[in-house]
Amino acid sequence: MKRNGVYMPQAANMVKLKYDCNLEISARDKAQSCLTDENTDTSYQENLHVVPKANVMDRPDAMRQGVMQWWKQVRIDSPIGMQVTFRAFHANMPVRSFTRMAWAETTKIGCAVKSCEPNWHVVCHYSPPGNKIMQKIYIPGNPCSACPAGTTCDYGLGLCIQ
């Protein structure tokens, strides 16, 4: 749901993410560095969230909070619009963490959480990268009505499966 109370349209071509151990390794390396600098590797995209340890119970809770923080950006940041198009002004806004997760052509994810006192560093890497200016985050429509070639529909999830 967007901040104005309007739901975003359903996705016709959303592919279920597969966990990727190589992306986990790169996310782990970033998390272990305890740095928050912007990712410059163009082979994947990165979400990073710093969670104060005082606000969470454990590592899994830190991961949940990171993911929830990224996902909720669509409700609190500049609107994506009903055409679900990623525009130039989104590129440097917090909503880009949501669009990295929701980008239909992104098929792989790997994540890590590292203790960086007094915080947890939560990092996820996504591939292939999305957030391409003036491209649709996904195709609006009935779930699975535009699944990419080589995928089938999981009707229970409403996602295209590789």
> Does 9 map to a domain?
no
CATH number at residue 71: 3.40.33.10
pLDDT value of position 100:
97
162 part of a folded domain: no
Query: Domain for residue 52, yes or no?
Result: yes
Q: What total of structural domains would you count in the chain?
A: 1
Give the pLDDT confidence of 109-126 residue by residue, as tens digits: 999 999 999 999 999 999
Judged against a pLDDT cut of 80, whether residue 18 lies above it is answered with yes
Alpha-carbon distance 13 to 130, whole Å? 14
45 located within any domain: yes
pLDDT of residue 6: 72
Query: 113 in a domain, yes or no?
Result: yes
Determine, yes or no, domain membership for 157: no
pLDDT, residue 89, reads: 93
Confidence of residue 1 (pLDDT cuts 50, 70, 90): low
pTM of the predicted model over 0.75: yes
Q: Residue 125 domain-assigned?
A: yes
Residue 89 · residue 95 · CB < 8 Å? no
Alpha carbons 127 and 130: distance in angstroms, whole number:
8
Confidence (pLDDT) at 8: 87
- Per-residue pLDDT band for 152 (boundaries 50, 70, 90) equals very high
Do strands 85-86 and 135-136 pair parallel, antiparallel, or not at all (unpaired)? Answer: antiparallel
* Structural domain of 63: 18-141
Written as six digits, the tokens of 76 are 């609190």
Query: What's the confidence (pLDDT) of residue 7?
Result: 81
* Domain assignment of residue 33, yes or no: yes
Mean pLDDT value of segment 15-43? 96
The DSSP string of 96-145 is HHHHHHH-TT--EEEEEEEEETTEEEEEEEEES----TTEESS-BSSTTT
pLDDT for 76 equals: 82
